């Protein structure tokens, strides 16, 4: 224990005690944490490296701090941090534990945030890899490429592994779970969530062709995928994990194939995209859009339709870069050009009329005539609504007023379309989607049925 004696020669005596290593622990009340020293510790500086760094600072010379005294000072702090580390591995308990009451809550939260800090260069190397003992042994090679110290890399690796294990099976949004368990700020939680999401779903992001993609890019992409493609995006299953992808959604996307397989749809979509882009007089990519629309649209739809297969999903980023980004880069499109093209592509896709096999979007506002995923199609229902509107005369914008009668009219229409008896039509007609509704009590409410003679 290092004691500071209040005597005339206290400095000399204390220095002799320190250098002689008679005492090796400092007790202060309340406990004092040197955050600058803590930064050196989490960055992986050894005692000798930290001493060299501190010795170059002005206050070392001002207070006549010898190298030996500095090393003992650093060793004392490092010992204190080693004791705190056991608590930092469980942040939720660390903040509430009585054993650390001498530290204020704000100090403890600051220590947690610093301890779980990450380096984007290291995360870019780790994302896409399996967090195994083999990967941990390879950290010495990774540290050289990232220009980091090995202890710091091991700390970040262990923290990442801890976050993965404690959150991958928890229900709810991944970012929220990480914030709740590890008391991290939103931006840092998003970093960890991106790595957990990509690792859990085994996305391939380590290929050389993807090396230019930064970790910030991957974080943004992972956030978008979790927001729109995860099971929780539908708000249907509160007990689902935030890393689970919506497989039914990927199965539904296959119904977009006619956008490129049917020539009339491809041509109409192309003309609508070009017409939309022409409204922006500053855009200069119209000639290349006209000549390259088919391969671009085919690449987009092909990637989308393959997402229901595990291997295609794993190569999602690779396919986008090689099949879409590569083509647009060859055409020398700017970032603005790409954004305007995709905005026009998505907007016009929702305006195409329905056809068998074309789906309509659940992530967009209700539009029964639209085609955007793109909710599942219900062409029969929309045809029935159109027929009623044509019979009674309301404008198409008042389609909701015809919905009730249209639902009642569907069973006989199905019977006609399948050339079956009413019973055969009702009980043998294959349900198109898992979201379809079966109205078993329609016969109890007689009303006019709309049917068109063919």
SS3 content of the chain, % helix, strand, coil (to 5): 65, 0, 35
Name the β-bridge partners of 245: 230
Retrieve residue 92's tokens: 């939720």
* Number of C-beta neighbours around residue 384 at 10 A: 25
Q: Collapsing DSSP states into helix, strand and coil, what is residue 230? A: strand
Render pLDDT for 115-173 as a digit per residue (tens, 0 to 9).
999 999 999 999 988 899 999 999 999 999 999 999 999 999 999 999 999 988 888 88
> Where in 40-129 does DSSP place strands (E)?
none
In terms of pLDDT, which residue wins out, 421 or 270?
Answer: 270
Encoded tokens for 169:
């099976």
State residue 273's pLDDT score.
Answer: 93
Phi, psi values for residue 99, rounded to 5°: -65, -20
Asked if 142 and 122 count as a contact pair (C-beta separation under 8 A), the reply is: yes
The model carries a pTM of: 0.68
Q: Are 42 and 155 in contact (CB under 8 A)?
A: yes
| Sole residue written with tokens 């569907």 | 410
pLDDT on residue 232: 76
What does DSSP assign to residue 321? I
**Tokens of residue 274, six digits:** 């070009």
Binned at pLDDT 50, 70 and 90, residue 350 comes out as confident
Q: Tokens for 121?
A: 């260069």
Give the phi and the psi of residue 245 in degrees, each rounded to 5: -80, 150
pLDDT band at residue 254 using 50, 70 and 90 as cut-offs? confident
Shortest CA distance to 294 belongs to which of 276, 316, 317, 268? 268
pLDDT in tens, 66-81: 888 888 889 999 999 9
360-367 long-range contacts, Cβ below 8 Å, gap at least 24? 362/234, 363/228, 363/233
State how far Cα 379 lies from the chain centre: 33
pLDDT digit string, tens, across residues 302-339: 999 888 888 888 999 999 999 999 999 999 999 899 99
pLDDT of residue 281: 76
- Would you call 149 exposed, middle or buried from its count of C-beta atoms within 10 A (0-12, 13-18, 19+)? middle
The larger pLDDT score, comparing residue 290 to residue 359, is at 290
**Which band of pLDDT confidence, cut at 50, 70 and 90, is reported for residue 442?**
very low
For the CA atoms of the chain, what is the radius of gyration? 32
Average pLDDT over residues 209-231: 89
Please choose, from the candidates 100, 116, 185, 127, the residue with its C-alpha nearest in 3D space to the C-alpha of residue 152.
116
Written as six digits, the tokens of 103 are: 């530290």
Residue 241, helix vs strand vs coil:
strand
Over pLDDT 70: what percentage of the chain? 68
Helix (H/G/I), strand (E/B), else coil: 201: coil
The full set of domain ranges for the chain reads: 10-114, 116-245, 253-349, 379-444
Where does residue 309 rank: exposed (0-12), middle (13-18), buried (19+ CB within 10 A)? Answer: exposed
What secondary structure, in 3-state letters, does 359-403 show? CCCCCCCCCCCCCCCCCCCCHHHHHHHHHHHHHHCCCHHHHHHHH
pLDDT in tens, 6-44: 333 434 434 444 444 445 555 666 678 889 999 999 999
């Amino acid at each position: 224990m290092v004691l500071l004696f209040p005597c005339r020669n206290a400095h000399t005596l204390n220095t002799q005690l320190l250098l002689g290593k008679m005492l090796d622990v400092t007790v202060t009340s309340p406990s004092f944490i040197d955050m600058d020293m803590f930064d050196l510790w989490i960055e992986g500086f050894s005692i000798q490296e930290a001493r060299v760094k501190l010795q170059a600072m002005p206050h070392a010379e001002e207070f006549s701090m010898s190298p030996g005294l500095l090393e003992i000072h650093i060793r004392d702090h490092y010992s204190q941090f080693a004791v705190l580390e056991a608590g930092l591995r469980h942040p939720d308990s660390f903040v509430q534990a009585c054993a650390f009451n001498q530290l204020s809550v704000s100090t403890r939260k600051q220590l947690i945030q610093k301890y779980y800090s990450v380096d984007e260069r290291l995360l870019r190397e780790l994302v896409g890899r399996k967090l195994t003992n083999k990967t941990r042994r390879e950290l010495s090679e990774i540290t050289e490429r990232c220009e980091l110290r090995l202890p710091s890399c091991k700390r970040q690796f262990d923290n990442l592994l801890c976050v993965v294990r404690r959150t991958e099976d928890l229900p709810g949004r991944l970012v929220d779970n990480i914030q709740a368990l590890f008391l991290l700020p939103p931006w840092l939680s998003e970093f960890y969530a991106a790595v957990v999401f990509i690792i859990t779903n085994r996305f391939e992001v380590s290929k050389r062709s993807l090396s230019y993609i930064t970790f910030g890019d991957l974080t943004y992409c992972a956030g978008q995928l979790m927001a729109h493609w995860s099971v929780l995006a539908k708000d249907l299953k509160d007990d689902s994990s935030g890393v689970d992808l919506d497989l039914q959604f990927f199965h539904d996307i296959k119904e977009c194939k006619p956008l490129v397989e049917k020539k009339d749809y491809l041509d109409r979509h192309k003309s609508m995209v070009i017409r939309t882009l022409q409204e922006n007089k500053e855009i200069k990519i119209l000639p290349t859009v006209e000549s390259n629309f088919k391969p671009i649209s085919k690449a987009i739809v092909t990637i989308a339709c393959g997402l229901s297969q595990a291997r295609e999903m794993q190569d999602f980023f690779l396919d986008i870069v090689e099949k879409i980004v590569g083509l647009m880069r060859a055409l020398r499109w700017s970032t603005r050009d790409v954004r305007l093209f995709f905005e026009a592509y998505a907007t016009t896709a929702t305006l195409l009329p329905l056809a068998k096999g074309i789906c309509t979007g659940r992530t967009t506002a209700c539009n029964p005539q639209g085609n955007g995923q793109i909710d599942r199609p219900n062409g029969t229902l929309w045809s029935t609504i159109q027929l009623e509107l044509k019979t009674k005369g309301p404008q198409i914008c008042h389609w909701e007023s015809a919905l009730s009668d249209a639902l009642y009219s569907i069973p006989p229409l199905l019977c006609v379309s399948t050339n079956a008896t009413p019973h055969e039509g009702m009980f043998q007609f294959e349900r198109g989607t898992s979201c379809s509704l079966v109205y078993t009590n329609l016969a109890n409410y007689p009303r006019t049925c709309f049917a068109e003679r063919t």
